[in-house]
Each structure stands twice: as structure tokens, then as C-alpha cells.
Structure 1
Amino acid sequence: MKTKIFILFLLVALTGFSAHSQHIVSTFSAKPNGVVEVAGRLEDGSKMEDLSWAWSSQNACFVSTKQHKFSGNHVLYQTEIPPRSEMTIRVIPRDKNADFSLYAYSGGGGAVVPNLPYCTSCEADYKWDFKRRGKTQDHTRSVQLRAINNPFPVTIGVVGGQGLSSGDFILEVSLEGGETPENKPQPDIPIFRIDSEKGKSLTYEGKLKEGVFVYKLDWAWDGQNACFPSTQKDKYEGHHQLYLTELPRRSELTVTLIPDNPKDQLNLYAYSIGSELQVVPDLHSCVSCEASYMARSGRDPGIRQVELRAINNPYQVVIGVAGAKGVTSGSYRLELSLK
């Protein structure tokens, strides 16, 4: 309740006219790994005569044939999406029969529609004209935006469809990730050399308690590595245990992690590099990186597996066994099969 009261106070204090638009823009702060709810009314917005920004190739928010879905009042909000986060924006009309639409865009230097020359990403949701196979739609609308290495301003538009100009709603904004990383000193990470033999499967036993935390994980979603996305970093916020092996030219290495207890929440990654050894978190670029981690839902057998290949050149391979957030122990077997 305190969070909602604070957000409503900010809306009253910071609401004002944008220098780029005659539409009122209300400002609030999103909460890392949390949810913020803001109450609103279409009556507080106004219609937007020029919607051509939406189908501009620099924005690609929605197509011109759908402009009637956005012909009612527009109620605008601004917030910020921090690095390493995914934002889900949802509008919940009080009247379940009301025709609401939603759009949100990141970047653009904070420019406000209709004066939006460009943006980083724009998404929109509106009432479907026809049913879609395998999908259902209720009275709510939702979109998602992501940020990797940089923060972006986010502008949100709650809109009445078919000229709708009145109706109460709740704007719900949830963030996954976005917390500021702690600047803790990184301890030395033990790395064990293990063999891989072509045509054989070799098994090694390990204990996660012999590893350490890797405090900086942004190497994993850096474009030079693309190992796992920032939204999955909680799968790797426990102890890490590292291994080093070889991947000969014209070969394929399969690495399988088998925990003694499937409930231990252990995960796996492996990357191939050239002759210069690079050990996380100081991984600037690699040839290939693959990860395997527990699913968010459903039965999890606990077994993880990745594959790496070499064609014309041999590589070094670093294998990482990691616990999920807070997991610092667990025994396991690591199987290496080289073909």
C-alpha cells in the first residue's frame, strides 16, 4: 500500500506538459524485480490526430490499417527501463467490456508522440478483429520491452479504441532484473584441467562448494558471447566451478551435467576460445557459447547438456557448472563425449 501511495504522489507532483507535445505525460519509477500499479482514467487524456509516427519505419509500432484501434483518448506515462532487465506493461480496464489499446516504446531520447522521429523499440497491443489459433484474449492488453547494456526512457500510451474517451484502468508495470550490481571484489575462480578423448565418454565428479560466486555476469549477454540472456541471470547467481579442456579440429564435444540430487538447481554453460585463455568474468569474446538451465515451469529432471563444434581450427573449452541464485553446494557428475 505504501508503494502505491508514493507512486500516486509522484504522478501528481511530476505531471506536466511536455515541451514536444500538447499531451500531458505522467512520470513514475519502475521497481527492479518488482511491480508498480498506477490508477488512471481515459478522461485525463486527449485524442491524437496525427498517428503517422506509429507506422513510420523508424518506429514500426502498429500499421496504419489499425489506427482506429488508437482513435480514442491517449493517456501518456514515462518511466525508465534499467540495463539487464525485461519490462512487462499491462493495462487492466475496470470495465471488462471496454475496448482499450496499449503501446510502449523505449529510447527516442524521451521524445513524446506524436513528435517521435525514431525509437529503439516499440510494441503495441489491441483488441483482435479475429480469433487467433491457439491463443485467447481478454479485456487486458500487454507489451514487453527489454534492455541489455544500457538504460532507456520508456513512454507508455493507454488508449481508447474506436474513439473511446472514458473509462478507469490500472496500469501495471513489472520489471524482471534491473537491480544495480554490487561492486564486490571478485575472488579467484578455481579452474580444473580435464581431458577429452575422441571416441570416448569420460566422467568427472565435482562439488559446487569448491567454487566461488561470479559477481559480474554481463559477459554472458554481451553480443560478443551471447551465452544466456540477462533475464536468466538468476540461474547463475550461485557458486561457479570451472573446467578447462580441448576441442580438436573437426570434432564435436557434448557436455552433460548430472546432479546427484535433481533438486539442487545446478546449471551449465561452456564456451570455446582460441589459444589465449579467457576466464569469466573477463570474457571479452569467444568463438561460441552455449548454456543449459532449469525451465521456469514444468518438471525439471536436473540434467543439463550443451554442445560445441570445431571445424578447421582447434579450440580451448571452458566449462562452467553454476548454482542458481544462492545455491553454493551440490555434488554432480560431468560427462564429456568427444566425436
Structure 2
Amino acid sequence: MIDKQENTQRKSAIFRFLLFCSAADEDILAECPKAEQQKYASIGATVLFTGILAIISGGYALYTAFDLVWISILLGIFWGLLVFNLDRFLVSTMKKSRGKLREVVQITPRLFLAVLLALVISAPLELKIFEEEIEESLHYAGAIKIDRLDSLYDHRLATQEYRIDLLKEHTEKKAEIRDEYYQQYVCECDGTCGTGKKGRGSECERKEQKYRKSEAEYQEAKASNDAEIAVILNDKKKLLDQHLVEKAALTDSFSDGLLVRLDALNYLPYGPQLAIILLLIAIELAPILVKLLSPYGPYDHLLKTIEYQYEIDEITAINLRNQQLNDKLTVMASLEKSKLDQEIKNNEGAMKLIADAHLQLVQEHLQMWVEKEKEKLRANQS
């Protein structure tokens, strides 16, 4: 009984984690049927598996690049979490509605991003899956470079050998001419050919001189050709040493890095690569496609209701704040009007006092003028 309860709690924790991966609201899902909860748990599992694939893929790619285990593991986990968060974001920002056209328009940019993520994740996995083929391709590419280098030096060495053969042939021709003249000289002096006269006659001496001259030419040609052959052999030895050095340098320069392996993928059959890419694209698009193809469910209805209620509350709060502001402005306007009316009333009283004072002053001036005029009249009568 206790084991069953622990298993249920463990399942509940895993189930809640999958719901977290799906970016669904657990409080809303708690009010939905079990089938709706399982649907979002499946979406969360797909998002989780995509993140795990990204960890494996990124870790292998970084290990290929840096050849450092711990750094590759840490950066691979970071890359996987980044992809996991992006997938979770893509799923969470896609809202179901009753209009399919609106959903398609909404999903289009997310599809492009999901395909891009699938392509990035697939490349390192392809490197691992086709590792043997890539090694063979790299070996073949290196062998081609070495063959080209060998061919270049073989051509140079063949040219040197050809020059040596020409010099030896020239020396041999001089030797053949000398030997021929020697036979003619001996034959003439023996009387077995030529004039048929034995002894040192004029013809014997002439052929002897001819032989001596050919002997000198042979010795001169042999010395010159042997010296030139020695120079060529020395150059040939240097060329062989240079060939070995360049071949060793070329072999050491063969890269086994990430970029070289990615480039080697281009020389492999495209069919298997395409299958892997399409598989990862399908995995990457699975959460989005599930939400797109699934019917408008209870979760979507409740979520829309909550969002609509939130929007109404927000609009109501804004209207209330506007009403409060209007009331405040009305009160302020009323106070200002009362103040203005009081000022007008005060000004009217002041103006009346000024008018009364001015009237009294005019009356006094008029009375004084009348009195002066009366005095003038009395003075004139007397």
C-alpha cells in the first residue's frame, strides 16, 4: 500500500513536471478532464525529449570542437536548456482559437524557428551517426592530397631522371664513336681492312689521330656529363628530402575539427541525412502541430475565459480611474467657479464703493462751486 502511494506521488511529480514543460497553467488544467491533462503532458514530454536531444547533440559537437569532456558537458547542458526554453516558449505563445486560418497565420513564424532549431540540432547527431563514413571520407580526402603531392614530386623526379638519361646517352654515344674509330684504327694498322697494308702508313696515322681525337672528346664529354649528373643527383636527393618534409607537414595539417567534419557531410549520400533531418524536424514540430491539430478543448476555453475576464477587469479598472479623475476635475472646476464668483462679487462691491465715493466727491465739488458763484454775485451787487 505504501509502495503504491509512493509510486503515485512519484508519478504525480513526473506528471507535474511534464505539465511544466508544456508551459500549461496547472491551476486551469486542474479544472479540466483527465484527457486534456494527458494531452498537455504529452506535449511537455515532446518538449523535454527535444531538450535532451539538444544536450546530446550540442555536447558531442562541442567535444568534437574542443576535445574537453567537462566543458563539453556543461556547454551541452546549457545549449539543451536554451533549446528547451525556446520550445517551451513556442508552445506557450501559441493560443488556440475557433478560427483555423488565424491559427495558421499565428503558427507560421514559429514553424520557421522550429525548423531552424531542428536543423541546428541535427548536424552534430549526423556527425555521430555517420562517424565511420566521415572518417573514411576524411581519410580519402587526405589520401587525394598526398597523391597530388606525390604526383607533383614524381613529375619533378622524372624530369631529373630524364636529364640524367640524356647525359648518359650522350656519353655512351661518344664512347661508341670512340670505339668505332679505335676498331678502324687497329684494323687499318693490322692490314685487315681499309688499304689492306700492314704497318704504320699514312692512313694508319690518320685513323690513329681520328681515334685520339674521339678519345679526347669522349673523356671531355664524360667528365662534363658526370659532373652535371652529380649535380642532378644532389638536386634529386634534396628534392626527395623536401618531398618527405612536405608530406609529413601535409599529414600533420590534416584537420579533424568540427568544420571539416561538417564539410565532409556534403560528400556523403544525401538520403540518410535527409531522413535524420526530417525526423528531428518532426520531433521539433510535434508540440506545435499537436496544438494546431487538436480541437478547441476545455483548457483553451477556460484560458480564454480567464484572459477575457482579466481584460474586462483591466478595462473596468481603467474606466474607474477615468471616472475618479473626472470627478476630481469636476470638483476642482466647481471650486474654481465658486472662487471666481466670490471674486466677481467682491469686485462688484468695491466698484460700488468707488462709484459712491466718486459721486460724493463730485457733489462736494459742485457745492463748493455753487458757493463761490453765490459769493461772486453778492460781490457784484454790492
Name whichever structure is richer in helix by fraction.
Answer: 2
Name whichever structure is richer in strand by fraction.
Answer: 1
Q: TM-score range by the shorter chain?
A: under 0.3
TM-score by length of 1: 0.20
TM-score by length of 2: 0.18
Q: Is the radius of gyration larger for structure 1 or structure 2?
A: 2
Relative contact order, higher structure (CA 8 A, sep 6+): 2
